[in-house]
Structure 1
């Protein structure tokens, strides 16, 4: 199937006799935008590591962009995947433009004596603009807010024009305004790149962009529910996933989660007279 971007079939991942993933099955098609949701320790980032070709399953099969793990050069495969990790281990004071340009070489630091081509410079500036960072192009990493760093890393991941973008809790540590700017940038990116496929890990439903099309609920390494977001992100299923009563609501395409069940309003009975 040419439109299948990711296909995990009954994958297990066992480390030190502990099962981190248990018969996980997932199929992601081109242009879909998935959210992996679950409590801390559910296995979300572990699953993302498999989908990003950084971890091999113990059992089962995982195919990424038509290539099966175990039968492919993972270094070559990783160059086709945009990876966004908010814990980016950059240690030098590079500018936003320099950080984005490292997406060409796939390195954390700039490669010595490497000079980007004119087209690469133009693309870097276009992606910086898409992420709303033009005014911060020459700002250096230590002086960027957490939200600016996150958007710069998304632009970096997009430099090779990958068909697949993986985001591991990109809104971690952001205040409300920074989170909203990040989510707006993701929605705009998805609108401008209809063929782009994305998978985003979070345990906060408020961190999901409006454009989220599908969701997978993960609990203790097992898939609790998977499918279109409107069918999966329900009060009943999310409550079961987090083992706590949680009311799910949606307004203008955005999700919200409230602890406890909302009780139906009691009809008002008029008094005598």
Structure 2
């Protein structure tokens, strides 16, 4: 079976800045990846490449069996689900959660005169149930908390049954309770047999849901490490990614990280 996407020595150059340098990365069906790195590491640029919204300056990118530069990207993008601020900011505040999810079937933001059938309604309700937001169905988007909005965006992205789902910092701005609710939803999604290939960007190892299988680590546009999560995410690789000495812990499939303690000062007597 061909990979979900494959990047070969991809670089992205913009005036005065090398955003990605010789990135090679292959992701297969059934894998759940988290992309880790500090601000400016190249994570957003990488997501734009695999989301078919940016072309590499050099190298080759094959997404869902189609090579960028040789395919109609508008058709390709219909097979890829996205969550992020660009979508969130365009959903009308008075739109109901159910309509915000269901309108993705027509590729619109805000219901107008589209007609939806029972299958659309059933699919929207099923997805909302799986993500634990059924009780929000009749709430308006503008009244939701940040965590509720994040789960609504994921439900909307799943409405079109994408083959690839890109989660761009879904935990950003969430308090502890909202983050845990979101992670619980992502764990359910990652365990589903019919879930799309998942790629999630994050700054924090604490946001990695159980069930994710692989990690890619970036620093200054270069790959620090990539591979199976349990083998690749170590204190050493994480430290090299963020440029500091870190301690990494894992308990029941959840990770924590903190800066290593400095040497204690000797007490002056």
Q: Does 1:55 align with 2:45?
A: no
Whole-Å separation in 2 of the counterparts to 1:47 and 1:190:
21
- Counterpart of 1:252? 252
- Counterpart of 1:82? 81
CA shift for structure 1 position 137: 0.4
CA shift for structure 1 position 251: 0.3
- Deviation by residue 1:7-51 (Cα, 9 ceiling, x = unmatched): 000000011131100000100000100011001100001100100
TM-score by length of 2: 0.94
1:33, 1:212 within 8 Å by CA — same for their partners in 2?
yes
- Deviation by residue 1:215-248 (Cα, 9 ceiling, x = unmatched): 0110000001010111221001101111111111
CA shift for structure 1 position 196: 2.2
- Deviation by residue 1:123-179 (Cα, 9 ceiling, x = unmatched): 001111111111110111110000100001111001111111100000111111111
The equivalences for 1:55-204 within 5 A come to 55-87=54-86, 88-92=88-92, 93-110=94-111, 112-194=112-194, 196-204=196-204
> Kindly tell me: are residues 91 and 200 of structure 1, through their superposed partners in 2, closer, same or farther at Cα, counting changes over 3 Å?
closer
Whole-Å separation in 1 of the counterparts to 2:123 and 2:38:
37
TM-score by length of 1: 0.92
Unaligned runs of 5+ in 1: 264-273
Whole-Å separation in 1 of the counterparts to 2:184 and 2:178:
10
RMSD: 1.4
CA shift for structure 1 position 194: 4.8
- How many residues align structurally? 261
1:35, 1:216 within 8 Å by CA — same for their partners in 2?
yes
Unaligned runs of 5+ in 2: 264-269
CA shift for structure 1 position 90: 2.2
Whole-Å separation in 2 of the counterparts to 1:61 and 1:94:
40
Deviates more, 1:33-42 or 1:193-202: 193-202
CA shift for structure 1 position 261: 5.4
